[in-house]
Structure 1
C-alpha cells in the first residue's frame, strides 16, 4: 500500500463526495442499465499495486486477480447461522475437473475442464498450467509459497492432463494451489505482449475483464460474456478507491455505493440502523499482535516478555478500541483455525504479576525501549497509546516511533525492529501454514527472530504427518510452547466487517477476505 500525498487524498475524496451528492447513485445507475445488465459500486480503501497473480500481496491487488483469473481448484461454501462462508476443508473443482493422488501422497494428477477458455479465446491447457506454476516459482513474492508447497516438478502429460510431483508429502498442497497466487495464466498472451504485461494487465480465464485500473481513483470490471462457467449476474463492477474511512461510510450510508469494506468499528452500530443496509461482521483469522525482537535485550528474556503480557488492558482493547468488533487473542493461531488451542494462555491484566516477573528478570526498576508504529490503522495507534500508559505503571517506558506504512513494511523485513504491532491473515486456514511463515525459525515473516528448537521440530514433524488428528496434536504442543515463551503479546482477532445494500445478494466470506464478484447478484 503506497503512501499517497495528504492533499491529493483530501481533494480526491472531496471531489468524489461532491460527485456522489449531485450525480447518479448506485441504485439509479442500476435502474438505468435495465436490460444491459446489473451494475454495482464498491468502496475500497486502497488502489493496489499489481495484477500479477504471483506478485500480488495486498487486498486490492488480490481482488483484481481473483476477478480476472481462475485456479485449478477452489473452496466449497457452507452456511453458518444464515451467513455464507467458505468451507476451507472442502476443496472443489475449478479449472481442474478432477484429480488423483498417488499412494505415497507425492504425485497429483489433474484433469482439466474440457470447455475452459482464457479471455483471449485460447484454450486452458496443461501447457498453460505448467507455465503458470513456473511463473510462481520464479517470482519474488510467490516463490516462497511454491517452496512451501514442496513442488518438485510440473509436467504436461497431454493437453488436458497435468502431473505435479512433490519432494515430500504435504497436507497443505491442495490448499496452497487453491490460492490466487497459483492462478492459471495465458502464456500465449504474455509471450506476445512481453514480460512486464502482467503487472498492469490480466491474462486469465476468470469471470471479469479488467477494463480500467487506476490505483489513484478506481478499477472497472466488466463481465466476461464467454466465461466458461457462464456469464456473471453483475455485468459491471466499479471499485472506488477512497482512503478516508468516513468517506467510504458516507457513500454506503447514502446509497452511492452498494458495498464498502474497511469500515471503522465505531461506525458499525450507526450503519446497522440504516434499514437499507446489511452489515456483515464475520469472525476472521486476521490477528493483531505486539512482537518483540527476541534477539535484543531485554526481550531475549522470556520473563520480560511475559511481564509485558500481564500489563496489557485486554478488555479496553476489545471494547473501547474495537467496539466489540474483535475478540481477545489467546494463541499465536486464530481461534477459528482447525488445530487451535489456548493451552498455556495464562495472561490477564495484572500489574502486580507484571512487576513480579520484571523483578525476577532483573528489571525491578523497569527499562526503556523503542516501539515502531506503522501508520494507516487507527486501532494500532489507539492500542499503542493505551499500552504505553499501562507499561509506565510498571516502570517501563515505551518510546513510540511513528513510521509511514511503506517504510514500516520494509523495516520489518530487516529483522531489526525492537518491538512493533503487526497484523496477519493466513489465507490457508491451517496452523502449519500460519506458524511456518511467522514463528518457525526459518519462516519468511518471522521478523521477531523467534527461535525454539522444540517448536521447529514439532512443526517439521507435523508438516509431513498425514493423519490430521496427530498433526493437530503436534501443532497444539507447538502453540503451548510459543504461548509460554511469549515472543508476541496476543492482542485480538479482528472481525471482517463489510457493509452492503440489502438488495445485494451472494456475498461469501473467505479467509483471505477477498470479495468474489462472481457470486454477487442484485
Structure 2
C-alpha cells in the first residue's frame, strides 16, 4: 500500500480465461544516482499508538508505523490533483507481487512474488503470505476485513506463487489487500517468538525498521538500506508524540519538527505566513455526520429528520468552525469517492422549511431530545452549540450531554444513543466498502439502525456487478434513496491538513491518512 512512486506501465496480457497484470518497481520516486541517506526527519503526531501489529492496528500512529515497516502484495498508483500528489486507488500497482492473474470467474487470484527480503534476511516467500493472511483471519480487529475481502482460502503453490481463492467475485479485493491490515509478515521469525511479539516488534520487509517505540514520547524508525526498491532518502524518521495541537504548531513554526499533522484549522493561515513553511490542505475521505437513532421517537419519522437537516447552519460550520478547511457534505459518501452524486440532495439552511416539515410530522410546537457529545474534538463541541441555537429557533430543544470518548464509542456500538455527531474515514476508497459498513442494514458500523430494503437490494446487486459503470449507477441510486430518508445530517468533509518545512518533498495523501516515509526527502 505504499503507493508512493510512479511505476512503469503495467503490462496486461489476455490469456485463456485470465487477465495477467505485471509491473516494474523502477519509478520516479526511486532513489537513483547519488543517495544521501544521512538526512533525518522529525514528524509531530498527536498520540503514541497502541500496537505494531498490522492486523490489530486501528489508530493513525499505529497504522503509520506498520505501513512503513511492512510491504503488501499490491499498492496504489499516484496522481496529481490541483498541484498535490494523492493516491490513485483505482490504479493498482505491483508491490511484493510482481504480477498476478485473475480467473475468468473472478474468484481466483494467482500472485507471483518478486525477489525481496524481510528485515531478518529471510526471503519473502509464499508461505509468509499464507501465514500473513491467516494472521489477519484470526486477528481481533482485522478479521472483519478478511471477511469483507471475501477470502476463502490461501495456498502456497510454490515458493514464489500464492493462490488466493474468494467465496465470490469482489471488485474491491485488490484495493483491500493493499491496506496495512494485509501486510506481509516474516512468519519464520514470528513463529520463534512469544505470542504477543508483533504488538511491540515488527517483522516486515518495508522501507523502514522500528528501532524504538515509547507511546509516551516518540518512535524512531531507521532506513532499510537493503530495501528492494533502493535505500530510502531519509535515514532516520523520528515520530514525536505531542498531544496538544498548539504545541505541534509551535514546534513547526520554530523549525523543531520537519512536518506536523492534524493542524487545527484556526492555525492554517498563521502557518501560511511563515515563509519557511508549507501547508498542504487536501480533500479527504473523513466525513462528519449527525446521526439519528431511527428506533427512537420522533426520529422514526423521516419528516422530523428532514426538518433537522434544513435547520443546520452549514455555512457557519464550514466557515466559522472549520475556517474553510472543510466543505459541506452533500451525499452519504465523500465527494472524492468514485460513484459520488449529489442527485436528490436538497438540504440547505431554511428554517421555514424546517418548521413546515415539523408541522407535517405533527410536531408544530417542536420537541425535546438528548444529544450525546463525544469528547476529544473541538469542532464537534462548537458544531453542537451552533446547531443547538438554530434548533431552538424552530421550537426544538437539544440537550447536550457530554461523554468521555471511551464511553461514547461503547455507547455508539451498543446503539444506546438517541443522537450524536461522529466522523468516519473510509480507508478503502469505494462506495461498496463505505455504504456496506455504514448504511447497509447488516453493516457492522451501522450504529443508527438505518434499514431500507431497497437500499440493501441495490448494495447486494452492486457487490456482484462486474461492470464498473453499472455498479456505480447502483451506488448512485442508493445515495438518492438515502438522501430522501435522511438517516444523518450531512455536516462536512474534512480537509487533510499537514504543515511542513519548505524543503520537505514527496508528501502524498492517502485515504488512510498514513504518511508514507519512503518518498519523502529534503
1:95 is the counterpart of 2:96 = yes
1:47 is the counterpart of 2:32 = no
CA distance in 2, matches of 1:405, 1:204: 33
CA distance in 2, matches of 1:242, 1:340: 36
CA distance in 1, matches of 2:37, 2:183: 30
User: What does 1:68-217 correspond to in 2, within 5 Å?
Assistant: 68-114=69-115, 116-217=116-217
In structure 1, the partner of 2:273 is 273
CA distance in 2, matches of 1:407, 1:223: 39
Bigger mean CA deviation after superposition, 59-68 or 398-407: 398-407
1:425 is the counterpart of 2:428 = no
Query: Deviations along 1:475-505, whole A, 9 cap, x unmatched?
Result: 0000010011000000000110000000111
Report the alpha carbon displacement of residue 472 of structure 1 after superposing the two structures with TM. 0.4
**SS, match of residue 398 in structure 1:** strand
**SS, match of residue 106 in structure 2:** coil
CA distance in 2, matches of 1:121, 1:298: 62
1:358 is the counterpart of 2:358 = yes
CA distance in 1, matches of 2:220, 2:313: 44
- Runs of 5+ in structure 1 lacking a partner? 1-33
In structure 2, the partner of 1:30 is none
CA distance in 2, matches of 1:387, 1:234: 46
Query: Deviations along 1:290-327, whole A, 9 cap, x unmatched?
Result: 01111111111111110100000000000000111111
Bigger mean CA deviation after superposition, 184-193 or 462-471: 184-193
1:496 is the counterpart of 2:505 = no
In structure 2, the partner of 1:252 is 252
CA distance in 2, matches of 1:187, 1:460: 36
CA distance in 2, matches of 1:258, 1:86: 22
CA distance in 2, matches of 1:35, 1:485: 57
Contact 2:46–2:242 (CA under 8 A) maintained in structure 1: yes
CA distance in 2, matches of 1:380, 1:158: 53
Report the alpha carbon displacement of residue 141 of structure 1 after superposing the two structures with TM. 1.2
1:56 is the counterpart of 2:57 = yes
CA distance in 2, matches of 1:327, 1:497: 13
**SS, match of residue 484 in structure 2:** helix
Query: Deviations along 1:190-235, whole A, 9 cap, x unmatched?
Result: 2111221111111111111111111111111111122222111101
1:449 is the counterpart of 2:444 = no
Query: Deviations along 1:26-83, whole A, 9 cap, x unmatched?
Result: xxxxxxxx97710111111111111111111111110011011000000011122322
In structure 2, the partner of 1:7 is none
In structure 1, the partner of 2:296 is 296
Task: Please give the TM-score of this superposition, normalised by the length of structure 1.
Answer: 0.92
Bigger mean CA deviation after superposition, 348-357 or 35-44: 35-44
**SS, match of residue 202 in structure 1:** coil
**SS, match of residue 285 in structure 2:** strand
CA distance in 1, matches of 2:264, 2:36: 36
CA distance in 2, matches of 1:254, 1:208: 27
- Runs of 5+ in structure 2 lacking a partner? 1-34
Contact 2:53–2:199 (CA under 8 A) maintained in structure 1: yes
In structure 2, the partner of 1:469 is 469
Query: Deviations along 1:388-420, whole A, 9 cap, x unmatched?
Result: 111111111111111122221222111111111
Bigger mean CA deviation after superposition, 359-368 or 512-521: 359-368
In structure 2, the partner of 1:20 is none
Shift of the 36–352 alpha-carbon distance from structure 1 to 2, 3 Å rule, reads closer
In structure 2, the partner of 1:8 is none
CA distance in 1, matches of 2:259, 2:98: 32
CA distance in 1, matches of 2:368, 2:201: 49
**SS, match of residue 517 in structure 1:** coil
CA distance in 2, matches of 1:271, 1:438: 36
Contact 2:36–2:233 (CA under 8 A) maintained in structure 1: no
Query: Deviations along 1:347-396, whole A, 9 cap, x unmatched?
Result: 11111111111111122221111111111111111001000111111111
Task: Please give the TM-score of this superposition, normalised by the length of structure 2.
Answer: 0.92
In structure 2, the partner of 1:66 is 67
Contact 2:37–2:231 (CA under 8 A) maintained in structure 1: no
User: What does 1:32-43 correspond to in 2, within 5 Å?
Assistant: 37-43=38-44
In structure 1, the partner of 2:23 is none
CA distance in 1, matches of 2:193, 2:402: 42
CA distance in 1, matches of 2:312, 2:81: 33
Contact 2:37–2:233 (CA under 8 A) maintained in structure 1: no
Question: Which of the pair is proportionally richer in helix?
Answer: 1
CA distance in 2, matches of 1:247, 1:396: 39
In structure 2, the partner of 1:239 is 239
In structure 2, the partner of 1:413 is 413
CA distance in 1, matches of 2:209, 2:502: 26
CA distance in 2, matches of 1:63, 1:494: 19
